[in-house]
Structure 1
């Protein structure tokens, strides 16, 4: 089930082909993709192909500012058929990235909090997995802010899109821990 998710500042919505130009604008920045494990986009056609073939999962969303609806990043819940982190029906992996001009404004933690609520309350998840590559301190901080706990470290993990190996830090958030955090937000 895919629908629009709304936060104070953001709209999380399905990707469409019209987003290719905006995607290219941010995905062509060498500070964005490589740290997350994917290569810099070379042209708008490549961004179109990514929208069609990568951002096509049942819970893949464009992260957009509410004020203009333009895509500035991506967030996705990946179920067992789209992730190597779980084979359980009630667990999924969370992935996200944000265009560099928007870094440091708390937008991705805002999007992550909303999609976690959706995962636990609407998708029947009991655990959400999330990881980051060594050196990606911004992603590490997002996961810490959103309550993820360290689970394991995988050394020499393949990064197929970049044809290299890296250390991956895998974190987890259980529904129980997420619910306990919600009590303190009220």
Structure 2
């Protein structure tokens, strides 16, 4: 597993692996399903045009293929030493420890390069695998946000996790 800056060379792989309802169901509604090559191009363009002082975006590569994405969205103003982590991984690669490695690596970048004190993540309550990933990486559960998610016509709780440097 390695994290790489996004490139238009990854468009086809991104479109292929992101086009999965099981992935979309665990992400914010901005993540489309179906996921097309045009969606992939637009996302990569966003990543290439966004300053790393705002958001750190990386492609997750495994066996030289793009199999997912991970990011840190950096806070502003009084939240300047915090960042929110977000990620997804192709369903074909779940359960191999790839996303745990990616989380550890991007957190290291956040703490060592950007001087962050806190990285947090919000997880949909039904996404137990993502909870386990964060816990495996040292994140602690801070609390439950009741009915904070409205997804696919239903309300769900979310869990807030954090890792402190």
The interval holding the TM-score normalised by the smaller chain is: 0.7 to 0.9
Q: What residue ranges of structure 2 are gaps of 5+ in the alignment?
A: none
Q: What residue ranges of structure 1 are gaps of 5+ in the alignment?
A: 1-9, 176-186
- Equivalent residue, structure 2, for 1:88: 79
- Equivalent residue, structure 2, for 1:18: 9
Q: How big is the shift at 1:163? A: 7.1
- Match of residue 46, structure 2, among 24, 47, 53: 53
Q: How big is the shift at 1:155? A: 2.0
- Equivalent residue, structure 2, for 1:167: 157
Q: Distance in 2 between the 1:102 and 1:142 partners?
A: 14
Q: Distance in 2 between the 1:42 and 1:114 partners?
A: 26
Q: Distance in 1 between the 2:155 and 2:12 partners?
A: 30
Q: Distance in 2 between the 1:42 and 1:92 partners?
A: 26
Q: Please show how residues 61-72 of structure 1 align to structure 2 within 5 Å.
A: 61-65=58-62, 67-68=63-64, 70-72=65-67
Contact 1:26 1:32 in 2 (8 A): no
Using the size of structure 1 for normalisation, the TM-score is 0.77
Partner of 1:72, secondary structure, is strand
Using the size of structure 2 for normalisation, the TM-score is 0.85
> Does 2:114 match 1:123?
yes
Q: What is the RMSD of the two structures over their aligned residues, measured on CA atoms? A: 2.2
Q: How big is the shift at 1:150? A: 1.0
Q: Distance in 2 between the 1:55 and 1:33 partners?
A: 22
Partner of 1:50, secondary structure, is helix
Aligned residues: 159
Contact 1:24 1:41 in 2 (8 A): no
Relative to total residues, which structure has the larger strand share, 1 or 2? Answer: 2
Contact 1:155 1:166 in 2 (8 A): yes
